Structure 1
């Protein structure tokens, strides 16, 4: 350490220079696996990928199911890596601007190369080249931003404006949260775990217990199976399902997204239809489809280190989701859902339920009478739905036995792994509940709920449901109490329970 005498500073004030050694904590890196750049699948790359897959050739769709599934996934992934390349993995960085495209990437790289050349050899020529590239990059960024904003304004003027507004608000709210990753969790006794191995084991233990615990219930009357021939899937049904599925969604363990089947066109749909019919005839899905990855999503309430405040979403194979949607389509043609259920039913939504609730309250106000509403929620409704009850309900609704066998096979031998910031845990079996994130689970759940609640259901406007969220209407509190008791008794016979801490009463 030394002081420096400077004339401009008063005699009693002198600059001090010191060499200080400081030990900074090493920033922990989040383990990110390499991924294929599916977001680069444009019209041009789609044609290239389709040509490569066609040249390599998909296996015989009528061959052994497991080997056919593995060979098809291997061929698709190999061609995709050659066409789209992979990310490097390592630490997860910030995403590029939402309006970023290939042209901006090229211009930004040219500006960066010009900057490096200018730093290496400082001359009027290199400096002028860098300034030119910088202006060009700035101009292209402004052009891309303006084009993206124009497209956004067009969407806001469309009939789907509300969807885009709420999506933008949710994205902004999520970006404002000071929660990027949670590296420590609490055990069952409330002790904080920081060791990566202990954290992974805690996540595995929590979900293993959650997805393998049933509520006590009574035995239901067994219904005789409904016989019927196996109805093969048609290419029109497969085309409709593939077209309906959204792109840009997280893939399952095999890494093959639905974008591949959309890109392969008619030949791909023909191969997929034959392969899915082969599975339907044997009533045995591929072994790879039985595995899934659970991603814990914070519910934005409660302690961030408490595992109970996370919702586990399962990442399932996209090809299996196509198979599930085909089964879902057939089930909806046979099973009818009550009119008071507004969740996961075509041409019904929360808007209808909210409108009915408002109309009921307005009518009560017109008559100058109090309106009492009680809101119920079911405890771990999806995760702890007994599967034996599910099979009994499906047979009770008159579903053909071959479809019952197909659905049972989807849940037989199901396993899962939990993806954490410290890596992925080992596998564990799942024996209870329906899959969170499955395309078939919502309809299976509401069909089961409607069957076990035939007597307590009064129909709208006195009973409104959205999946497992329930609203009961009555003229007084005394009238509400027996309604709630009926619900509790009916649900207790089949497994689900009403969460007492989420009972709420509203009066108008």
Structure 2
């Protein structure tokens, strides 16, 4: 319906979905909703088009009756607020609380920001009275009641215009709610008076199956904002390395690569020649991706011809009932609605049955994790971030400014140094060292994991694995040259830094991201060889669990729980100290931290 009516944002009420989440709908639309009450009577939400999802800056869920979404358009902030007022039979305390909360939200929105309020306000504003020309257009329906007075008072207090009343319509075209013989106007769209000229039309559309009794209200808006250059995220065309699993293609690739490689003496020349050979051969044998990125969700995968026909019959029945109002047509619509729900449920169940059976049969844990991550991401409010905040909290929407903000953050984070204090005495460890052996190179390649993101050189570790013994010999020759010449390829010194959101805090704050470097896989193989040698020369304390082979931080958590349980059984006091070494923990002043810990322990007399 939203796609057919070209609706970009839709405020909905009485969603009755529990939780404060988001949910992907068909055709790429996304529902952001606020939790319903325990009795499942309330709940509000905003449905956004794919284009608007990328402009979301903030989502605030006040309660199960009020929520709003902030979006950035051409440097202008727009707030879409959805509200669901208590019905006439609700208590006065509940009504007062709603309007008090709604007033609090409006007070917190700066006057320079555009505001669009859409909701079921459960009041009759009726016609215009004296002195209301600035807020009421004069085209209302019914008699004004107490709830209607509060709506007008709300509009006057915050300089809003009730757009429903601003356009001349026949009385029947003003009705937004029908229940039997009862007809009324209780659903409204409001905007700031200074932006009222941007609202070209507000109309009630009958026949859309949004809700059984409520009608769809649409406001056509043309916002005057400064045009800015739209940044298009262009995906790089990459080699289809996953086709290495094909035996025939793998053999063809190996034959061509091993026939073209050259064992140059210089490390730089060696890598420049042979890395180019690997990439060019990979393009020829495996091909390149389209560079268009992940395909957009154009339609629901379960939408088949049967569902389409049943839903069409339901919409036709709803339209007929709206026009006639007869009990017979109402019963026909209820039957068609029931059949539609059954058809959709059956289609969804059938669409996921085969994939889940295959997943259960293969016991593919990676695929299961991938599905879980995909569903978790779809439930997040913000998945595509186009705005970030600088150090002062100002929202940046220009792509160049955002890149500069990331650059400043990581430069400060990665280049900050603390005073390093030598805690041990001793001279340098000098002496003869053994050359890199072939066994070391082969061991390092075998212990590398597959399926990892490649660095800027675009050569994955699978290449060296599938090149076989001759590939190991080729890699061994490179490592010996690096070891003897004490020089590594310049291309290895460049990496891609990818910010990964930690899942907590403000999503537009750079400090809530963890930087992950994508480095050349061949360099990682070399580092693994050096790391194995260093571990033979050094001793790591047994208390360290992170970055240790055969140990995990979950082991430390298990040991900690056992200690707590043991002291609990003995009813003995237990004192613990926790350090949170944020981000670049390897540069933190460890000596100073240990001194602070010792002073804290002595102060509490802890053994």
- Kept after mapping to 2: 8 A contact 1:29/1:90: no
Deviation digits for residues 227-254 of structure 1, max 9, x if unmatched?
Answer: 2223222222222221211112111111
Q: Structure 1 residue 37 and structure 2 residue 272: aligned?
A: no
- C-alpha separation in 2, matches of 1:12 and 1:361: 72
361 and 146 in structure 1: CA distance in 2 versus 1, 3 angstrom threshold: closer
Indicate the residue corresponding to 1:316 in structure 2: 519
Indicate the residue corresponding to 1:212 in structure 2: 415
- C-alpha separation in 2, matches of 1:193 and 1:142: 41
Indicate the residue corresponding to 2:562 in structure 1: 359
Deviation of 1:164 (Å): 8.0
Indicate the residue corresponding to 2:571 in structure 1: 368
Deviation of 1:67 (Å): 1.3
Q: Structure 1 residue 269 and structure 2 residue 395: aligned?
A: no
454 and 237 in structure 1: CA distance in 2 versus 1, 3 angstrom threshold: farther
- C-alpha separation in 1, matches of 2:431 and 2:377: 50
TM-score (norm 1): 0.59
Q: Which runs of 4+ in 1 moved over 6 A?
A: 11-17, 20-27, 141-144, 163-167, 451-458
Q: Structure 1 residue 284 and structure 2 residue 410: aligned?
A: no
Indicate the residue corresponding to 1:84 in structure 2: 286
167 and 53 in structure 1: CA distance in 2 versus 1, 3 angstrom threshold: same
2:272 to 70, 73, 86: 70
Q: Secondary structure at the match of 1:376?
A: coil
- Kept after mapping to 2: 8 A contact 1:261/1:269: yes
- C-alpha separation in 2, matches of 1:65 and 1:89: 32
- C-alpha separation in 1, matches of 2:295 and 2:407: 27
Q: Structure 1 residue 176 and structure 2 residue 343: aligned?
A: no
Q: Secondary structure at the match of 1:261?
A: helix
Deviation digits for residues 29-59 of structure 1, max 9, x if unmatched?
Answer: 322111111222223221221122123x212
Q: Which runs of 5+ in 1 are unaligned?
A: 1-10, 97-140, 157-162, 387-448, 459-472, 484-508
TM-score (norm 2): 0.50
Q: Structure 1 residue 190 and structure 2 residue 384: aligned?
A: no
361 and 167 in structure 1: CA distance in 2 versus 1, 3 angstrom threshold: farther
- C-alpha separation in 2, matches of 1:269 and 1:230: 22
167 and 351 in structure 1: CA distance in 2 versus 1, 3 angstrom threshold: farther
220 and 202 in structure 1: CA distance in 2 versus 1, 3 angstrom threshold: same
- C-alpha separation in 1, matches of 2:370 and 2:204: 54
231 and 382 in structure 1: CA distance in 2 versus 1, 3 angstrom threshold: farther
Deviation of 1:93 (Å): 2.8
- C-alpha separation in 2, matches of 1:234 and 1:280: 11
Indicate the residue corresponding to 1:50 in structure 2: 254
Q: State how 1:316-465 maps to structure 2 within 5 Å.
A: 316-382=519-585, 384=587
Indicate the residue corresponding to 2:160 in structure 1: none
Deviation of 1:13 (Å): 6.7
- Kept after mapping to 2: 8 A contact 1:34/1:87: yes
Indicate the residue corresponding to 2:604 in structure 1: 478
Indicate the residue corresponding to 2:46 in structure 1: none
- C-alpha separation in 1, matches of 2:503 and 2:251: 42
Q: Secondary structure at the match of 2:516?
A: strand
Q: Structure 1 residue 257 and structure 2 residue 460: aligned?
A: yes
Deviation of 1:215 (Å): 2.2
188 and 358 in structure 1: CA distance in 2 versus 1, 3 angstrom threshold: closer
166 and 86 in structure 1: CA distance in 2 versus 1, 3 angstrom threshold: closer
Alignment root-mean-square deviation, CA: 4.1
Q: Secondary structure at the match of 1:294?
A: strand
Q: Secondary structure at the match of 1:41?
A: helix
**More off after superposition, 329-338 vs 348-357:** 348-357
- C-alpha separation in 1, matches of 2:447 and 2:560: 31
2:355 to 140, 145, 170: 145
Deviation of 1:170 (Å): 4.4
Q: Secondary structure at the match of 1:377?
A: coil
Where relative contact order (Cα < 8 A, 6+ residues apart) is larger, the structure is 1
94 and 211 in structure 1: CA distance in 2 versus 1, 3 angstrom threshold: same
Q: Which runs of 5+ in 2 are unaligned?
A: 1-169, 174-202, 206-219, 299-350
Deviation of 1:145 (Å): 3.0
Deviation of 1:16 (Å): 11
- Kept after mapping to 1: 8 A contact 2:231/2:399: no
294 and 39 in structure 1: CA distance in 2 versus 1, 3 angstrom threshold: same
172 and 212 in structure 1: CA distance in 2 versus 1, 3 angstrom threshold: same
**More off after superposition, 326-335 vs 210-219:** 210-219
- C-alpha separation in 2, matches of 1:298 and 1:187: 16
51 and 95 in structure 1: CA distance in 2 versus 1, 3 angstrom threshold: farther
Q: Secondary structure at the match of 2:576?
A: strand
Q: Secondary structure at the match of 2:587?
A: coil
- C-alpha separation in 1, matches of 2:292 and 2:544: 46
- C-alpha separation in 1, matches of 2:563 and 2:293: 54
1:234 to 423, 437, 444: 437
